[in-house]
Amino acid sequence: MDSTSVSLWVRAEPFDCGAIHVPLPPKLTLHNLHKLSIYSRSKGKAGYPKISFSLWKHVACNKLGLKEDQAWMYFETFDMLSDSSFKNTQLWAKQSSQCRTQAEIAQLRNQVSVHLLQFVIFLFIQQIHKISFKASLVSGAEEYPLQFTSTQYNDRNTRDSVCCKQYNDRNTRDSVCCKQYNVEIQEIVCAVSTVTESHLTLEAVDALGFLFIGTTDGNVIYLHRKIQQLQDLSRLQSEVNRSGYSKLCRSFSFRQFQTWLRSTLQINPYGVSEVLSQGKHKGDQSIKESSIKGRIMTNVNFAPAVQRLVIMSQICKQTVAKASDTYAGSNLKIHRCHYSYIYVLCPLRSVTITKCHDSTIVLGCVNTAVNIIGCQNVLFIMISNQVSMSACLNCSFHLCTPTRPLILTGNEGLTLAPYHTFYPKLEEHLKSPWGVATFPNEWNNPLLLDDSSCPEVYREMPLEDFFTFNIPFNMKGSTDGSPIPLPEKYENALQDRENIISGWYQTVKDASLNKPQRAQLQGIVQKRFQDWLTESGNGSQLNGLVPPHSSKSSTSDHSKH
């Protein structure tokens, strides 16, 4: 590849965080989205260049058959991914904190707006779940991008991690999307074009930047590549003849742009497959020396900050902790982890958790979304802008989220509870660029998006089952208690339990036991505690916290990474 040539790829985030895993509303078609674009332009400033929520709500509810909560969910999710989110403004934070009634909330929502053309594309990609990835990959059509070579597949690390193809591999998804866009790119672009069928405006190409991004540094090592926007790349002097851009008309030839876009699309150089082939393995010492498989891979050694990806796969019967600033702002994928305790105590951009069971997963603050798919008997503890769960069975979620949790299809036996832990850097992370608003906390106000679901699909955690969660690691930081206030009934339940424990200590003290009696009581308590560790399964967590060697180098290994 020439060092000055352009390489484009599909951005992963719109699909990782923006494509909602629910059946597509029947009327959310390309034809109707095109009509939405035209209708919005006819409404002046209320619809173009930004569309207000009030206008979108009118179209969504009256024309597309969506419920108002669904309309806001799509609107809010897109805003979460945009570069200029209305929720990042101090005015929104101040006004939203003052809302006390549903009418006040509705009035506030009607005042906000998002980029129309990008929003149309965001709505278009919701049909991604209609694509059969398996059929696309096994069809006779040409594979694009390339699959693993036999050499790569025979490599042990790549082979052990090939499961990424099995869990809705986002890189495979991007590949199929590229094929789909090669076939339907004309329809997508027409939906945002305002000139003619033969020309595209700068605004339309800028909107397509929601899906595509790229670089000109083809021969430069990954870490030093400069990531650029689609509109900027398409107007480079070296590219205008190929992309069809006319400075005089300030528009693009449709056919030339389409051909140029197709010819420059490649596999995401920072996606899953590149992590498998080029990424750095970051296994804990305990995992490296154990006979139990587990892979922790990352591209932080070669990816720009905005493209960082961490993959934790097939961790079994392990305790893994990550708290390094190196991972700050990364996108995290946790897949097929079983009987494990996983702590990722740093601010993250997004998280996808798939097919895990019988584990505990504790996350720092997540700036966009946590998507949880196909998990069973897992305890989740997290602060995130958005949380969605689908096909989960008997899972508990301790949440702090300013948006309503999304309960999607195929869930059963979910338990919702308020966030109830902390770690020393939590408040620092909440104020970082990847921080999350902690008010309002909608942990117990989920949005049910599965038509077959009933309210019984979830429950609030009973007070007698609610306990605080202590993170068993020492870290530097100033947070010495949870900055997230508990609901009063849960706070009272904890206080009642504390009073019972204090009363028991006082009873023992007042009993004036002699030394043999105290030793006997201590033995009984310790035996009961050991029995409880075995019955509850918590003994495995304690064993996981014991380093494999007594040396300092091994002892510190959990916290370094």
The answer to whether 392 and 374 have CB atoms below 8 angstroms apart is yes
CATH of 292-486, one of 2.160.20.70, 3.40.50.300, 2.60.40.420, 3.20.20.70: 2.160.20.70
pLDDT digits (tens, 9 = 90+) for 481-505: 999 999 999 999 999 998 988 888 8
List the domain boundaries for the chain.
25-126, 292-486, 490-518
pLDDT at 186: 55
The answer to whether 548 and 285 have CB atoms below 8 angstroms apart is yes
Pairing of strands 348-354, 357-373: parallel
pLDDT digits (tens, 9 = 90+) for 431-471: 998 889 898 899 999 999 976 656 689 999 999 999 989 99
pLDDT at 212: 92
Q: Is 50 helix (H, G, I), strand (E, B) or coil?
A: strand
Q: At what angle do helices 170-190 and 254-264 cross, to 10 degrees?
A: 170
Measured distance between the N- and C-terminal CA atoms of the chain, rounded to whole angstroms: 36
The answer to whether 100 and 36 have CB atoms below 8 angstroms apart is no
Provide the 8-state DSSP code for 457: G
Amino acid at 429: H
Residue 400 bridge partners (DSSP): 383
The answer to whether 345 and 560 have CB atoms below 8 angstroms apart is no
**In which residue ranges of the chain is pLDDT below 50?**
1-3, 133-169, 182-183, 283-292, 550-561
DSSP string covering 466-533: ------------S--S-SSPPPHHHHHHHHHHHHHHHHHHHHHHHTT--HHHHHHHHHHHHHHHHHHH
pLDDT at 343: 96
- Summary mean pLDDT of the chain: 82
pLDDT digits (tens, 9 = 90+) for 503-522: 888 888 888 888 888 888 88
The answer to whether 9 and 212 have CB atoms below 8 angstroms apart is yes
466 burial via Cβ count (<10 Å: 0-12, 13-18, 19+): buried
Q: CA neighbours within 13 Å on the CB side: how many for 439?
A: 14
Residue 524 CA to residue 292 CA, distance in Å, equals 35
Cis amide bond preceding 49, omega within 30: yes
pLDDT at 158: 40
pTM of the model: 0.85
SS (H, E, C) 255-319: HHHHHHHHHHECCCCCCHHHHHHHCEECCCHHHHCCCCCCEEEECCCCCCHHHCEEEEECCECCE
Residue 390 CA to residue 371 CA, distance in Å, equals 8
Residue 112 CA to residue 108 CA, distance in Å, equals 7
The answer to whether 333 and 304 have CB atoms below 8 angstroms apart is no
* Joined tokens for residue 354: 């798939």
Long-range contacts formed by 537-545: CB under 8 A, 24+ apart: 540/317, 540/339, 541/319, 541/341, 541/360, 541/472, 544/286, 544/317, 544/318, 544/319, 544/340, 544/341, 545/319, 545/472
SS (H, E, C) 220-255: CCHHHCCCEEHHHHHCCCCCHHHHCEECCCCEEEHH
Q: CA neighbours within 13 Å on the CB side: how many for 188?
A: 27
SS (H, E, C) 346-390: CCEEEEEEECCEEEEEEEEEEEEEEEEECCEEEEEEEEEEEEEEE
The answer to whether 179 and 144 have CB atoms below 8 angstroms apart is yes
Residue 273 CA to residue 314 CA, distance in Å, equals 17
Residues 6+ apart with CB under 8 A from 555: 547, 549
